[in-house]
């Protein structure tokens, strides 16, 4: 069992209402000139709308449970897509077969080491056609916010799931020197009788700065086309909500 499997249903519920980036990916997909590849596709939050738009799309994820939910979502809508269980650092994909590859909201931050980062970028580079496009959507680190992260537990959200009430609590402890956030999610489920069960998930997120991501892309054989600060393609500036890198395989 993958470590993310027990949390797949929570992940799906956590992000089911996150739609701000969908117009951005739809527009880029229309311009892609070939099939679409999503690395670390999770439960298909972005993959499904792109399939609905008529795109030929392949999703890769390391979690069987995440992919199972993605398959269910596709089946419920009568849609089809190729879903591959695999590690994005080493998965075998058809070479030079995709017009666009993307890693959606913060998922690349799970790659903690330079070796892992470059291996993932190499997977994307091999899979893209010569004039293909790679998109990486990242959290834009704010040092003033990061220094306040001291592992205190805060309520993040509440929702109903499978007839139970779920409260999600989050604790984050960040290390500015390592550029890492140590994250803990607590999911408390309450049944009809008020009994509570808790699942706890620990993981590390590695944040990036602009020129660091540009350097990584160059090392992996990409040419940076643009760095955006929002899904509306605003200029990347101090205080931008996102750090979105758009690149192409180098010659």
Q: Which two tokens stand for residue 198?
A: 């808790």
- Does residue 158 share a domain with residue 50? no
Q: Could you read off the pLDDT of 151-185 as tens digits, one per residue?
A: 999 999 999 999 999 999 999 999 999 999 999 99
Rounded Cα distance between 231 and 215, Å, is: 22
Q: Which two tokens stand for residue 147?
A: 């220094």
| Residue 236, burial from CB neighbour count under 10 angstroms (0-12, 13-18, 19+) | middle
Tell me how many domains the chain contains. 2
Q: Could you read off the pLDDT of 23-53 as tens digits, one per residue?
A: 999 999 999 988 999 999 999 999 999 999 9
- Does residue 147 share a domain with residue 31? no
Quick one: residue 52, left, alpha or beta (phi over 0 = left, psi -120 to 50 = alpha)? alpha
Give the model's pLDDT for residue 249.
Answer: 95
Q: What is the pTM of this model?
A: 0.95
- CATH code, 16: 3.40.50.150
Give the model's pLDDT for residue 1.
Answer: 67
- Does residue 125 share a domain with residue 36? yes
Rounded Cα distance between 135 and 232, Å, is: 14
Which residues lie across from 19 on neighbouring strands?
Answer: none
Average of per-residue pLDDT values in the chain: 95
- Does residue 114 share a domain with residue 14? yes
Output the CA–CA distances (angstroms, integers) from residue 238 to 142, 145, 235, in the order listed: 9, 13, 10
- Does residue 174 share a domain with residue 76? no
- Does residue 153 share a domain with residue 226? no
Counting residues of the chain whose pLDDT is more than 70, the rounded percentage is 99
Rounded Cα distance between 173 and 150, Å, is: 5
Domain that holds residue 58: 5-141+207-249
Which band of pLDDT confidence, cut at 50, 70 and 90, is reported for residue 250? Answer: confident
Rounded Cα distance between 86 and 151, Å, is: 32
| C-alpha torsion angle, residues 224, 42, 231, 77 (rounded to 10) | 130
Give the model's pLDDT for residue 99.
Answer: 97
pLDDT at 140 over 70: yes
User: E-strand spans in the chain?
Assistant: 36-39, 57-61, 82-85, 98-103, 128-139, 150-161, 164-175, 180-190, 196-206, 222-228, 242-249
Q: Strand, coil or helix: what is 165?
A: strand
pLDDT at 3 over 90: no
């Amino acid at each position: 069992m993958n470590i993310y499997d027990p949390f797949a249903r929570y992940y799906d519920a956590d992000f089911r209402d996150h739609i701000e980036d969908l117009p951005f990916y739809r527009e880029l997909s229309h311009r892609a000139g070939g099939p679409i590849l999503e690395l670390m596709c999770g439960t298909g939050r972005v993959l499904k709308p792109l399939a609905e738009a008529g795109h030929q799309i392949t999703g890769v994820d390391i979690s069987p449970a995440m992919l199972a939910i993605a398959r269910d979502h596709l089946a419920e809508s009568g849609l089809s897509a190729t879903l591959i269980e695999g590690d994005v650092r080493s998965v075998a994909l058809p070479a030079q077969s995709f017009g666009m590859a993307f890693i959606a909201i913060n998922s690349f931050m799970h790659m903690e080491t330079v070796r892992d980062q470059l291996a993932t970028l190499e997977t994307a580079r091999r899979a893209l056609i010569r004039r293909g496009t790679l998109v990486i959507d990242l959290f834009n680190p704010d040092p003033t916010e990061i220094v306040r992260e001291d592992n205190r537990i805060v309520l993040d959200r509440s929702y109903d799931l499978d007839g139970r009430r779920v409260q999600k609590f989050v604790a984050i402890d960040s290390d500015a020197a390592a550029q890492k956030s140590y994250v803990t999610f607590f999911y408390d489920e309450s049944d009809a009788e008020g009994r509570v069960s808790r699942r706890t998930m620990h993981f590390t997120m590695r944040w990036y700065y602009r020129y660091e991501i540009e350097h990584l892309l160059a090392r992996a054989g990409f040419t940076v086309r643009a760095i955006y600060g929002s899904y509306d393609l605003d200029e990347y500036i101090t205080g931008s909500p996102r750090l979105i890198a758009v690149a192409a395989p180098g010659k």
